Amino acid sequence: MHTILQTATRLGSARRSMHALLLFLTLLFANTAQAQEWHYTVRPGDNLWDVSTRYLSAVDYWPKLQALNGVTDPEHLPPGTKLRIPVAWLKRLPAKALVLAVQGQVQALIASTNKRVAVDPGLFLHQGDILGTGPDSNVTLKFADGSRVLLQADSELRLAILNARGQTPFVETRSRLEKGRADSEVTPRTTGAGNRYEIWTPAAHSAVRGTRYRISMDPTTATSRLEVLEGRVELQGGRKTRSIPKGFGTLAETGKPPLVPVALLPPPPLGELPPLVSRVPIRWSFPAVPEAAAYRAQVAPNEQFGFPLKAGQSCYR
């Protein structure tokens, strides 16, 4: 009898532990699903079939949508009602990237025609297109969510994925930097977890939700470098992910994990700049920053540096 009671006690304890685990997993998945939802406001005349056809990847999702929102009459939805829709159910529609500014010689290999074209401001680029910049050249792109990337000289960037989730604010932007340097200014994610902005390199890939950072790829050394100016960037390489905070940088060699982040060096004190510049190169002197081996400068027509006239130039002390 003592043995039976001990066994029953262990079984009861196991059931309680299992119940607690299931409850924890249920709450975990519920919170995850909620974080990845879009809330649609019902308009007059809407029904679940129309909403599913308009926004979801398959109309067959409407019974799930009905169950998720506890809808009793799928043919008549009260206007103003909020429908919870998981982002994963939404349609994937092609998005575009707009060329905002060009300096120097920039070309694009258009995926749909397999032809190279000269890149000018106002040109729309699509998924699969490849951008290439020449020496002393750069190009600024604006993506569907408002994020921008400045592709600097002697660089190559492939627009791997440009998607929008239905007619919603959720945008997926993934690019691959084969070589060179790209500076990103990513729009903060105020609409939930459905947005994604990533830049991949052969050595590592970065993922962010709203920040400013620089990433480069050197095919000669198979090394990718990352510098975070605002926010935080997750950098993955060699099956390991590191979180890089503001004011820090790291590098990753192909097949190896990113190194431990180190603090970025401060900018040099520029002192008095010439009031008028009439020719290039521009020359002026400033105190050296300890441990700095080289300096990278940008010349732009305004303080925002949105469209540099010159970018990616190195000045050695």
Please tell me the predicted confidence (pLDDT) of residue 157.
98
Peptide bond preceding 281 in cis form (omega within 30 of 0): yes
Q: What does pTM read for this prediction? A: 0.77
pLDDT at 310 (0 to 100):
65
Give the pLDDT confidence score for residue 144 in this predicted structure: 92
pLDDT (0 to 100) of residue 10: 38
Residues in contact with 284: Cβ distance below 8 Å, sequence separation at least 6, in sequence order: 270, 271, 272, 273, 274
Q: What integer pLDDT is reported at residue 312 of this predicted model?
A: 52
Identify which of 202, 206, 210, 209 has the alpha carbon closest to the alpha carbon of residue 244: 206
Low-confidence ranges of the chain (pLDDT < 70): 1-35, 189-194, 280, 301-317
Please report, for residues 25, 62, 107, 143, 171, the alpha-carbon distance to residue 103 in angstroms, rounded to integers and kept in the order given. Answer: 53, 49, 11, 19, 28
Q: Hey, which residues does 175 pair with through a beta bridge?
A: 159, 199
Cα–Cα distance for residue pair 214/229, rounded to 1 Å: 8
**The pLDDT of residue 166:** 75
Are 195 and 145 contacting, i.e. CB atoms less than 8 angstroms apart? Answer: yes
